[in-house]
Structure 1
Amino acid sequence: MEWKTHGERRIHTNEWVNLCLVDVQQPDGHRWEYHVVRLRHLAVAAVVNDRREVLMMWRHRFITDSWAWELPMGLVEDGETPGEAAVREVLEETGWRAGPVKPLVYAEPANGITDSQHHVFRIDGAIYAGPPTERNESDRIEWIPLSEVRGMIDRREIVSSGSLVGLLYLLMDAAMR
């Protein structure tokens, strides 16, 4: 059953987020204005080395006042592809220059309230280029063995949806080989 959209109006907008009221009608005829958060696309990078370790950042998220491990990620800027954004974010946030980039998985983490799209990429063969230029992104950067990731997820040391989707896909892919 498909909902029908009759129109949309923005009630708040800036470079990061647009909050909209969408005039929707359900299949039973009920019609009302539904709050929708419109966001830029997000690029996520699962950087893997030859030792089966993944490059992660330990960071604080003030919104939830929590610390957790995350994959490098960031918004796709105007004029760049999600893959280009993933490469840029890895270099800016970790100081590692990306090797070959390949799409890993696509996700819409909360498509009942937002149009946020997460484009997750696998990057192999990264080379250290120097300290990160985005110094406020993380407290530390480490290579984490993939064999430890499941336990970290279970202990809620990894909680961001973009990181979870990418890491779980990596683990699933490894288990199938």
Structure 2
Amino acid sequence: MRRSERLLYTANGADLRVVDVAQADGEHVEQPFIRTPRAAGAVTFQGGRVLLLWRHHLVTDTWGWEIPLGEIGPDEEPEAAAARHLEEQTGWRPGPLLPLIRIRPAEDVADCDHLIFLAHEASPGAAPAGAEEAEWLPVLHIQQLMDEQAITSATTSAALLYFLANLLQARAPH
């Protein structure tokens, strides 16, 4: 049972906190965790391909493919945030977005909530704001990219695997 929580440090919209937890035997344990704002993103699928970003991860100093994802602004609907981040980060404007999956990628160490949507079409929009590379990759290569550690993000992995499971289920004989 949670008893108290205190802030240790805050930067760039993320907090490092410690929660005091009473265990079943009555002993108390302090558990550090990170609290981040809610985020929204999108799996964009069109013509047998998914739209992914080639991103550098500062903490691990590695590169990998990810779905577009970003913070949900104050008073912003998650779907609107997903569409905004998709266009800002890739230069592609999504068609209608459908809810796909809600992910909490690191519940033992972080309080982050990612709402992921699905777009079955996209059209060219404004030039992307960042220097990241956006590319349409064959959906059949997702497993290979995961095997090669070119996709390691928990949110991206869960969203793409969930999408693929839905795709297979829809095509399976009933």
Same fold (TM over 0.5): yes
How does 1:54-73 map onto structure 2 within 5 Å? 54-73=50-69
Find the partner of 1:169 among 152, 162, 171. 162
Gaps of 5+ in 1: none
Partner of 1:74: 70
CA-CA distance at 1:32 after TM superposition: 2.7
Could you tell me which amino acid in structure 2 is paired with residue 127 of structure 1? S
Q: Deviations over 1:19-67 (max 9, x none)?
A: 1121210111111322121111121210111x12111111211211111
Report if aligned partners of 2:41, 2:115 keep a CA contact under 8 Å in 1: yes
Using the TM superposition, name which of 150-159 and 12-21 deviates more: 12-21
Poorly superposed stretches of 4+, deviation over 6 Å: none
Aligned pair 1:160/2:156, yes or no? Answer: no
CA-CA distance at 1:15 after TM superposition: 4.3
SS in structure 1 of the partner of residue 110 of structure 2: coil
Partner of 1:7: 4
TM-score (norm 2): 0.92
The whole-number CA distance in structure 1 between the counterparts of 2:60 and 2:12 is: 22
SS in structure 1 of the partner of residue 106 of structure 2: coil
SS in structure 2 of the partner of residue 43 of structure 1: strand
SS in structure 1 of the partner of residue 84 of structure 2: helix
Aligned pair 1:147/2:140, yes or no? Answer: yes
The whole-number CA distance in structure 2 between the counterparts of 1:148 and 1:175 is: 15
The whole-number CA distance in structure 2 between the counterparts of 1:65 and 1:160 is: 13
Could you tell me which amino acid in structure 2 is paired with residue 42 of structure 1? A
The whole-number CA distance in structure 2 between the counterparts of 1:67 and 1:81 is: 30
Could you tell me which amino acid in structure 1 is paired with residue 162 of structure 2? Y
Partner of 1:26: 23
The whole-number CA distance in structure 2 between the counterparts of 1:164 and 1:112 is: 18
Could you tell me which amino acid in structure 2 is paired with residue 32 of structure 1? V
Gaps of 5+ in 2: none
CA-CA distance at 1:90 after TM superposition: 0.5
Report if aligned partners of 1:37, 1:115 keep a CA contact under 8 Å in 2: yes
The whole-number CA distance in structure 2 between the counterparts of 1:120 and 1:21 is: 28
